[in-house]
Structure 1
Amino acid sequence: MSLHSIKSENTKEKKGNSNKYKRCYDLYAEKSATHPINKYKINDHPTDPDLSKNLILDELLLDGNAKQNLATFCQTDVDINIHTLMDKCIDKNMIDKDEYPQTAEIESRCVHMIADLWNSPDSANTIGCSTTGSSEAAMLGGLALKWKWREQRKKEGKPCDRPNLITGPVQICWHKFVLYFDIELREIPMENGRLLMSPEEVLKRCDENTIGVVPTLGVTFTLQYENVRAISDALDKYHKETGLDIPIHVDAASGGFVAPFITPDLVWDFRLPRVKSINASGHKYGLSPLGVGWVIWRGKEDIHKDLIFNVNYLGGNMPTFSLNFSRPGGQIVSQYYNFIRHGREGYRAIHQACIDHGVYIGEEIKKMGIFDLIYDGKGALPGVCWLLKKDAKVKFNLFDLSDRMKTRGWQIASYTLPKNAESMIITRVLIRHGFSRDMASLLIDDIKRCLEYFEKHPLVKPLSKEEGEGFHH
C-alpha cells in the first residue's frame, strides 16, 4: 500500500471516529433528550437506541446503590461469568423441556445436588423443582401438605374442609398462601422474651386439621434459626400420644444455603424423618441472580400424584410441578455454575467471611453503649440486629437513624416487630457476598457520624412508625 493510500485510510478512520464521537456527544442535544421521557403512553415515533438506553440508565441512577443495600437478603454481586451465562440463556424458556433439553438436565442436576446438600435419604431419586423464588417454592411445599392431608382425611371418612397451618412469625408469602388456598393460619406471635417458634407453642395449636408445621431457618425479622429438631421431637411425642402424624415443611429461604456450610452438624433437614419438604432461595445465599428458588421433597411419596404434570422430554416423561409457566433459564444455569465454581469449600469460605463481618459490626454496635443486640451475628444468618436500650438518652429513634444513613448511600432496615411485640423497634443489617471488612468499618464510621449529628442537631419531632418505616418484605 502506498504512503498516499495509508494517509487516505488514516484520514477516513479519523473522520469515522470523529463522526462517531460527535454523534455520541450530540445525543443529549437530540429532540428526544430535550423533552421529558414518555411515562404514560408509547411514542408515536422511534427514538435513537443509544439515547433510549442512556435516558433509562440516567433514571436508574436514582435507585440505591445495591452494594450498600444491607436491607435485602437477595444477592447483589455476581461475577462476570454469570453475566455471560445469563446473556447466553436470555432466550431459553425453562418450561420448554423438549426444546431446551440440556437446560432441563441442568435443572435436574441442581435438584439432586440440593437434595444431597440437605441430606435426603435418596438424593439421586427424590423429586423437586426450580421456581421463580422461595415464595413460590414455599407455596408448592404448602400445597403438597394440603393434598396429602386431604387424601388421608378422605381415606378415614372425615371432613376435609377446615385445614390449618402452623407457623412462627413469617414472611408474607405464607399469609398469601393461606389466603389463596383457603387455609387457616395459626401463626405463633412474637412476645417479649420469645421471638421464635417454640415446641410448646406449636403443640398448643395442633389438631386433626393441621396440615403441617412450618419452622423458619432464618427468620426474616431477626435472622435467627428456629429449632427444627426440637419441634420435630415434640411432634414425634404428640404422634405417639394422639395418633396424629403432622409433617414439617422447613422454610429455609435464606438458611438453606448457609447452614449446610457453616453449621453442618445442626440437624434441621431431611435427617429428621418428619421433615417432608424444604424451600430455599437460590438468589439469596445460593449466590445466584434474582429469579430462582428451589423446593425439594424428602421422597416422591411426599407429594401427591395429582399435583404432578408429566412433560414430554427426550422421548420420555419428565414430572413437573410449578405455579408459573414461561420463565427464563439463565438463573438455573447460573445456580449450577455456582455449585461447580465454588463447591462446598468455596461456599463455606464465602459465607464464613460474611458471618465474620456481621459479628464485627455487632461488636462495634455494642461498644457504642446505647444499643442492645437481639442477634449478634453468631449461629445463624450473616448479619446483626439491635434495638435502642430502654434507658438510652438519645434525641432520635431507629427510623431516624436509617433515614440519616441514606445520606451516605446506606440502606438499613428499621421496623417494628409483628403483633404482640410491636412495641419493639429494631434495626437489621444483612451481610452478603461482595461485602468487605473495609465496608463494615465505613458503615460503623457513618453510624457514629449520624449519632454525632443527632447530638448536635436534636430532632424536634422524631419520625413516626408510618413516616420512617421503609422496610416491607
Structure 2
Amino acid sequence: MALHSRVPEDESGVELEINPVYSREKSCVIPRYRLPDSGVLPRTALQVVRDELILDGNARLNLATFVTTWMEPEAEQLMAECSSKNMIDKDEYPQTAELEHRCVNIIGNLWHAPHSEAVGCSTTGSSEACMLGGMALLWRWRARRRAAGKDTARPNLVMGTNVQVCWEKFCRYWDVEPKYVPLVPGRYHLGAAEASAQCDENTIGVVVIMGSTMDGSYEPVADVNAALDALAATPGGPDVPIHVDGASGGFVAPFLQPETEWDFRVPRVASINASGHKYGLVYPGVGWIIWRDEDHLPEDLIFKVNYLGGEMPTFALNFSRPGAQVAAQYYNFLRLGHDGYRRVQQTSQDIALHMSGEIAKLGPFELLSDGSDLPVFAFRLRDDVTGYSVFDISERLRMRGWQVPAYTFPENLTDMAVMRIVIRNGFSMDLANLLLDDLRLQLQVLEHHPQTQMPPELQKKRASFAH
C-alpha cells in the first residue's frame, strides 16, 4: 500500500490525517459508534472502510439473493452520474421523470395492461410496491362496503404461508387479518381451491406469487382467477380481486413463458408489482407497481405537492430517493430490448436446469423444483441420508466463498430443511461447474466425517437464523 505523507496540523493543533501505515494502527484508533474528534484524508477514510468491507461475502458468489449483483460498466457509469438526482423532484429533473414514465409504460405493455397509458410508478423495491398494491385493495374494499352500507372493521387478505415478509408487514401496519393457506407435501405454494376456500365478504384480495422465494415456482394465477369466479357465482359470493406479486417472475415469465397467462390478461388481476433490482437486472433498489387502470388506484392515495417547484402527484410511500436506478432500468430496456432480456433470462434458466440436473444425480438429494419456472431451484437431503444436514453442507460451501442458503419451510412443513440456488445474470456456466465440483468434494468430506447430531432446539435456532 502506498504511504500517505503526513500533513501539517491545522491552527487548532489537531492533526488532519490519521496516518494509514498499518504499523502505526495502535495509536490511530478509528471510533466505531461515535464521530471522531477530527477528520482524515479522503484516501485514508476510503482505505479504512474498504478494509472492513473485505470481510463481507463476495456478492457474485451469493446464490441466496435474488438481487442483481452484476451490471455492465456503462450502466454503472450512468448510475454514478445520476446518483445525486432526487427522483421526487420531477420539476427540477423532468427528463428523469420522463424516463420513469417511459419505464412504467414499457412494463405495462409487457404485462398486457389494457390501456396504452399505464398507471403506475417506480418504488424503492417490491416491498414498497406491495404496500401500495395492498393499500389500493384495502381502500377499494372499504369503498365498496361503505357504498353497500356494511361495516369495514374486519378486512382480511388471503395468501400462502410462503409469502415474502412484506405482506406480513402490510397486514400488521394496516390492521388487516392475514389468512394463510398452509403448504403441504407436494404443494409448496398457494393452491387455487385452498385460496378460494379462505375468502369471504371481508377479503380485500388474494396475493398470488409469480416465483415463490421458497422454491422458485410460479403460483397458478389463472387457476386462482377461475376459482374466484366460481366463488363469486355462488349466492352471495364475494367478488375478490387478485394482486400478483411478481417480484421476480414479472421480469422472467414475459420472456421465458410468454404463453402463460398470469398478468392483466387474467380479468381479476387488479395490480402487479415487480423488482427492477431482481430479474429486471438493475442494482438495488428499484421496484415497480402497475394497476389495471385508473379505477384500481383510489384517488385518496394520490397526494399533490407544490413545494418542489411545481405541483405534481405522488403516491409512493417513500419520498426522496436517487434517480440512478430508474435511469439504469431504462438503460437496460434500451440496451437489451425484448430479445436481449429473453436471451439473458434463458441463459440463467439453462444454467439452473443444468445445475439441478447434476445435483439430482449426486445421490443424497431430491429436488423440490428444477428451475423451469424461475431460474431458481430447491433441493433437500433424502430421508435415509444421516450424519450431516443441509446446514452442514451450506457451512462447508461457505468456506470456499459460496453462499448457498439452507432453511426450513414455513408452518406445517417446518420439519423439512432445504437448500436453494438462485441463478442470476453474471453467474456463468463456468462458475456453476466450479460450485458443483465443490459440492461433490464437500459431500465426500461429510460422508467420511459425519457431523455430531445437534439437539432439536439448536437445529431450530440454526434454521431460523439461516432463513
- Of residues 245, 249, 257, the one that matches 2:239 is 245
Q: Which residue of 2 is the match for residue 194 of structure 1?
A: 187
Q: Given that residues 131 and 294 in structure 1 are in contact (C-alpha distance below 8 angstroms), is that contact kept between their aligned partners in structure 2?
A: yes
Q: 1:94 to 1:33 in 2, by over 3 A?
A: farther
Q: Within 2, Cα distance between the matches of 1:29 and 1:182?
A: 54
Q: 1:109 to 1:136 in 2, by over 3 A?
A: same
- Of residues 192, 200, 203, the one that matches 1:207 is 200
Q: Which residue of 1 is the match for residue 268 of structure 2?
A: 274
SS at match of 2:270: strand
Q: Which moved more, 1:91-100 or 1:283-292?
A: 91-100
Q: C-alpha displacement at 1:127, in angstroms? A: 1.1
Q: 1:315 to 1:403 in 2, by over 3 A?
A: closer
- Of residues 287, 292, 297, the one that matches 1:293 is 287
Q: Which moved more, 1:163-172 or 1:34-43?
A: 34-43
Q: Within 1, Cα distance between the matches of 2:414 and 2:136?
A: 33
Q: Given that residues 403 and 468 in structure 1 are in contact (C-alpha distance below 8 angstroms), is that contact kept between their aligned partners in structure 2?
A: no
Q: Given that residues 377 and 383 in structure 1 are in contact (C-alpha distance below 8 angstroms), is that contact kept between their aligned partners in structure 2?
A: yes
- Of residues 333, 336, 340, the one that matches 2:330 is 336
Are 2:455 and 1:460 equivalent residues in the alignment? no
Q: Which residue of 2 is the match for residue 325 of structure 1?
A: 319
Q: Which residue of 2 is the match for residue 227 of structure 1?
A: 220
SS at match of 2:366: strand
Q: 1:221 to 1:21 in 2, by over 3 A?
A: closer
Q: Which residue of 2 is the match for residue 91 of structure 1?
A: 84
Q: Within 2, Cα distance between the matches of 1:346 and 1:470?
A: 38
SS at match of 2:103: helix
Q: 1:342 to 1:460 in 2, by over 3 A?
A: same
Q: C-alpha displacement at 1:465, in angstroms? A: 3.2
Amino acid across the alignment from 1:239 = A
Q: C-alpha displacement at 1:467, in angstroms? A: 2.9
SS at match of 1:200: helix
Q: Which residue of 2 is the match for residue 421 of structure 1?
A: 413
Q: Given that residues 388 and 398 in structure 1 are in contact (C-alpha distance below 8 angstroms), is that contact kept between their aligned partners in structure 2?
A: yes
Q: Which residue of 2 is the match for residue 15 of structure 1?
A: none
Q: 1:224 to 1:30 in 2, by over 3 A?
A: same
- Of residues 309, 325, 347, the one that matches 2:303 is 309
Q: Which moved more, 1:454-463 or 1:238-247?
A: 454-463
Q: Which residue of 2 is the match for residue 397 of structure 1?
A: 389
Q: 1:443 to 1:318 in 2, by over 3 A?
A: same
Are 2:32 and 1:39 equivalent residues in the alignment? yes
Q: C-alpha displacement at 1:313, in angstroms? A: 11
Amino acid across the alignment from 2:357 = E
Q: Within 1, Cα distance between the matches of 2:431 and 2:241?
A: 43
* CA shift digits 1:11-66 (9 cap, x unpaired): xxxxxxxxx95537973258567534210111111112101101100100000000
TM-score normalised by L of structure 2: 0.93
Amino acid across the alignment from 2:336 = H
Amino acid across the alignment from 1:217 = M
CA RMSD of aligned residues (A): 1.9
* CA shift digits 1:218-267 (9 cap, x unpaired): 01111100000000011112112234211100000000000000000000
Q: Given that residues 97 and 313 in structure 1 are in contact (C-alpha distance below 8 angstroms), is that contact kept between their aligned partners in structure 2?
A: no
Q: Within 2, Cα distance between the matches of 1:197 and 1:460?
A: 36
Q: Given that residues 215 and 376 in structure 2 are in contact (C-alpha distance below 8 angstroms), is that contact kept between their aligned partners in structure 1?
A: no
Q: C-alpha displacement at 1:456, in angstroms? A: 2.4
TM-score normalised by L of structure 1: 0.91
Q: Which moved more, 1:457-466 or 1:293-302?
A: 457-466
Are 2:435 and 1:443 equivalent residues in the alignment? yes
Q: Within 2, Cα distance between the matches of 1:42 and 1:32?
A: 18
Q: C-alpha displacement at 1:290, in angstroms? A: 0.4
Amino acid across the alignment from 1:140 = L
Same amino acid, percent of matched pairs: 49
Q: Which residue of 2 is the match for residue 375 of structure 1?
A: 369
Q: Given that residues 413 and 470 in structure 1 are in contact (C-alpha distance below 8 angstroms), is that contact kept between their aligned partners in structure 2?
A: no
SS at match of 1:408: coil
- Of residues 329, 334, 345, the one that matches 2:339 is 345
Q: Given that residues 122 and 288 in structure 2 are in contact (C-alpha distance below 8 angstroms), is that contact kept between their aligned partners in structure 1?
A: yes
Q: Given that residues 91 and 310 in structure 2 are in contact (C-alpha distance below 8 angstroms), is that contact kept between their aligned partners in structure 1?
A: no
* CA shift digits 1:416-469 (9 cap, x unpaired): 100001111110000000011111111111011111111222212357232355
Number of paired residues?
450
* CA shift digits 1:367-386 (9 cap, x unpaired): 111111000111x1102210
Q: 1:22 to 1:38 in 2, by over 3 A?
A: closer
Amino acid across the alignment from 2:269 = V
Q: Which residue of 1 is the match for residue 102 of structure 2?
A: 109
Q: Given that residues 402 and 412 in structure 1 are in contact (C-alpha distance below 8 angstroms), is that contact kept between their aligned partners in structure 2?
A: yes
Q: Within 1, Cα distance between the matches of 2:305 and 2:265?
A: 31
Q: Which residue of 1 is the match for residue 466 of structure 2?
A: 471
* CA shift digits 1:332-373 (9 cap, x unpaired): 110010000011100100010100111111111111111110
Q: Within 2, Cα distance between the matches of 1:313 and 1:284?
A: 33
- Of residues 157, 176, 196, the one that matches 1:165 is 157
Amino acid across the alignment from 2:466 = F
What are the ranges of 5 or more consecutive residues in structure 1 without an aligned counterpart?
Answer: 1-19
Q: Within 2, Cα distance between the matches of 1:399 and 1:415?
A: 8
Q: Within 2, Cα distance between the matches of 1:137 and 1:443?
A: 34
Q: Which has the larger radius of gyration?
A: 1
Q: Given that residues 134 and 253 in structure 1 are in contact (C-alpha distance below 8 angstroms), is that contact kept between their aligned partners in structure 2?
A: yes
Q: Within 1, Cα distance between the matches of 2:240 and 2:311?
A: 32
* CA shift digits 1:76-102 (9 cap, x unpaired): 001111211111112111111111111
Amino acid across the alignment from 1:167 = M
SS at match of 1:151: helix
Q: Given that residues 97 and 312 in structure 1 are in contact (C-alpha distance below 8 angstroms), is that contact kept between their aligned partners in structure 2?
A: no
In terms of fraction of residues, the more helix-rich structure is: 1
Q: Which moved more, 1:235-244 or 1:31-40?
A: 31-40
Q: Within 2, Cα distance between the matches of 1:120 and 1:34?
A: 63
Q: Given that residues 400 and 468 in structure 1 are in contact (C-alpha distance below 8 angstroms), is that contact kept between their aligned partners in structure 2?
A: no
Q: Which residue of 1 is the match for residue 9 of structure 2?
A: none
Q: Within 2, Cα distance between the matches of 1:253 and 1:116?
A: 17
Q: 1:24 to 1:269 in 2, by over 3 A?
A: farther
- Of residues 155, 175, 182, the one that matches 2:168 is 175
Q: Given that residues 28 and 51 in structure 1 are in contact (C-alpha distance below 8 angstroms), is that contact kept between their aligned partners in structure 2?
A: no
